[in-house]
Structure 1
Amino acid sequence: MSDPFGLGTFAGGDGDPFPGLVLGGGERVLDLRAAFGDDATTLALLRDWDGTLPRLRALAAEPAGPVAPYADVRPLPPVAPSGQILCAGANYFKHVRQIAYTFMRQGGDERPESAVRAEAEDISARRATSEEPYMFAGLPSALSGATDDVVLRGPGVQHDWELELAVVVSRGGQDIPEEDAMEHVAGYAISNDISTRDVMQRPGFPMTDFLMTKNRPTFFPTGPYIVPREFVPDYRALRIELKLNGKAMQDEGVDDIIYGVERLIAYASTVVTLAAGDLILTGSPAGNAGHHDNRWLVAGDVMEGSITGLGTQRNRCVAA
């Protein structure tokens, strides 16, 4: 096996996007247009993943084409914002316990601490015995790059972070068996599902509004690049960490996940037809703003997100 590498979409000094191979542990980027043609895109490479991957391994061993320092390029969303984004909700045990506890306390539940926490534990345990995961759709227009600003647009002021492991689909299909699901995975990336909590439920309208809550422009910082599945032998061994202005807010292992990647792919493919380049966000672990005394995002904040071996995001929050 070759040394680990990443695949992403970048912009150089001229601003033109190009597919790039990330080498040297994130130190250099090889412009793949020299090898795959001037019209090459990351999405096109994913659509022919079985043919692409061996060529990427060879290029990682012997780079052929322009190579730039990683610091001299701007990471864009790894895949052009045109495919589907499917997001798993309430998919980490500890996170579900925190959500349930916060919901009960904010709803005026005055029972003793032990009783409220016991019910939150019971709610979390029941998630694992549910028949199906909970998933919702995101919009590609909300994608942004790993170093882009996040624009805190209103309405709503309770802007929250949700750093997640994202799965990048290489081979589409419908009704994919769980035991075959990993053969449809090109690799993994980082995504941050920014959410505005105080507009999640409309007053007098008993439904959740995820369009308003989660799908504003820049609300899905993703990347900086995709790491092929062969370099992540056990995604459950990864660790997710988000720092806000240098302070750790999320720091959890993926092993706390309720429905794993295999189950999410199998379930999603019973609802939609998956295609190469689609993103499946696997859910956020514990440590959102509600757990930190409702410390919502404000202009000037800097989020730094990392997942083991998948690079780092650094996004500044700005006012609209």
Structure 2
Amino acid sequence: MSFPTHAGEFALGTFAQVSGRPFPGLVAHGRVRDVSALAPTVRDLLTDWDSALTTLRRLASDPRGNWLGGDTVRVLPPLEPGQILQSGANYRQHVIDLVAAERESAHGATPEEARADAAAMMDARAESGTPYLFLGSSRAMCGAYEDIVLPTEGEQHDWELELAAVIGKAGKRIPRSEAMSYVAGYTICNDLTTRDRLYRPDLKAIGTDWFVAKNAMTFLPTGPFLVPAEFVGDPMQLQITLKHNGVVRQDESTKDMIFDIARLIEYASTVTELRPGDLLLTGSPAGNGAHWGVFLRPGDELECTITGLGTQRNTCVAE
């Protein structure tokens, strides 16, 4: 395969040759160069990100060295993260859809009344509310071109395409005004969810079971690349697009976020120290399978893009 285009001079990823060990790779001009001499993993490169950027920029412009074509390597998730922090209910239109549907069915509101009430709630939440975050498992990750394995448990396997920020330096209680300086780059994540395993009928008071619904192996396709933040431009002006079997299902700008990336970082860092290599997923826009009444089946294909970050293509298979 040829590598998808990405913003900027270069990108980073993790790759493997046939029967070979994974290596951190510098992607430029449609080829990849092994940079394990600099650091054993992409996450290690992030521990001194400013220095690494300077070296990577020099190597990207140097035709010498062992450059490999995309057809000679496997594309793995771009890094193994420390923490995976995931943001729920963070796209305005998506949450309005959910709240309005509940108000129509449970409270008998007209569609117009339900949407007006939901919009007012989201405006108030953006003004004075707080983000909703939970943790994911790195064991759920798979590469941008690997198969998604649909587990036998549950039937409503759904997609949720998201922009993920990659943290580049450690910080606790990070002010919003400084938060974006902690972002090394961005990547694509598709945070799959088995909807009919999300709520536990035996433990209704506890609520959602994120572990079961979201962390099946291969349920977090990530990558293909980590694109440095300086190449991406304004991360709040990126287009998120998902096609299911060729049909566009999600197509929204990141500007629809209720809480922007800086606010998410500020909030997350009041609870936990953020460290280089942590992933912060920023939520998914409207248009998931539950909205369309369509869920994933073996043989289905997903094509996912975010402006400047490349493309994922995954095929669903039965367990």
Which of these residues, 19, 30, 34, is aligned with residue 31 of structure 1?
Answer: 34
1:111 CA drift (Å): 3.4
Distance 1:249 1:48, change over 3 A: same
* Residues matched between the structures, number: 311
Q: Percent identity?
A: 49
Give, in whole Å, the separation in 2 of the partners of 1:83 and 1:120: 36
Residue aligning to 1:8? 13
| Residue 159 (structure 1) aligned to one of 152, 157, 169 | 157
Structure 2 length as normaliser, TM-score? 0.93
Q: Say whether the 8 Å CA contact 1:102–1:290 is kept in structure 2.
A: no
Counterpart of 1:271 in structure 2 is: 271
Shift in Å, 1:125 = 2.4
For residues 72 and 124 of structure 1, what CA distance do their matches in structure 2 show?
Answer: 48
The residue aligned with 1:210 is 210
RMSD: 1.7
**Structure 1: which 5+ residue stretches go unaligned?**
none
Deviates more, 1:276-285 or 1:40-49: 40-49
**Separation in 2, partners of 1:113, 1:185:** 40
Give, in angstroms, the shift of residue 240 of structure 1: 0.4
Counterpart residue type for residue 88 of structure 1: S
Q: In the alignment, does 2:231 pair up with 1:231?
A: yes
Deviation at 1:110, TM superposition (A): 4.0
Query: Aligned residue for 2:50?
Result: 50
What is the CA deviation profile of residues 107-128 of structure 1, one whole-angstrom value per residue up to 9, with x for unaligned ones? 5554332222223323332321
What is the Cα deviation at residue 129 of structure 1?
A: 2.3
Equivalent runs, 1:93-242 vs 2, <5 Å: 93-104=92-103, 107-203=105-201, 204-206=203-205, 207-242=207-242
CA contact (8 A) 1:88 1:136 kept: yes
* Cα shift at 1:282: 0.5
Q: Deviations over 1:60-79 (max 9, x none)?
A: 11144211112332211111
Report the equivalent of 1:298. 297
C-alpha distance in 1, partners of 2:290/2:122? 17
Runs of 4+ in 1 over 6 A off after TM superposition: none
Cα distance in structure 1, aligned partners of 2:267 and 2:63: 39
Contact 2:100 2:111 in 1 (8 A): no
Q: Distance in 2 between matches of 1:103 and 1:151?
A: 31
Secondary structure of 1:129's match? helix
Structure 2 distance, partners of 1:3, 1:85, is 25
TM-score where L is the length of structure 1: 0.92
List gaps (5 residues or longer) in structure 2: 1-6
Contact 1:174 1:269 in 2 (8 A): yes
Alignment check: 8 A CA contact 1:32 1:65 kept: no
Within a 5 Å distance, the mapping from 1:82-97 to structure 2 comes to: 82-97=81-96
Q: Which moved more, 1:272-281 or 1:147-156?
A: 147-156
CA contact (8 A) 1:102 1:291 kept: no
Native 8 Å contact 2:101 2:114 kept in 1: no
Distance 1:18 1:104 in 2: 51
User: Contact conserved, 1:3 with 1:60, CA < 8 A, in 2?
Assistant: no
In the TM superposition, residue 3 of structure 1 has moved relative to its aligned partner by 4.7
* CA displacement, residues 239-271 of structure 1 (integer Å, 9 cap, x when unaligned): 000000111000111111111111111111111
Partners in 1 of 2:159 and 2:290 — Cα distance? Answer: 10
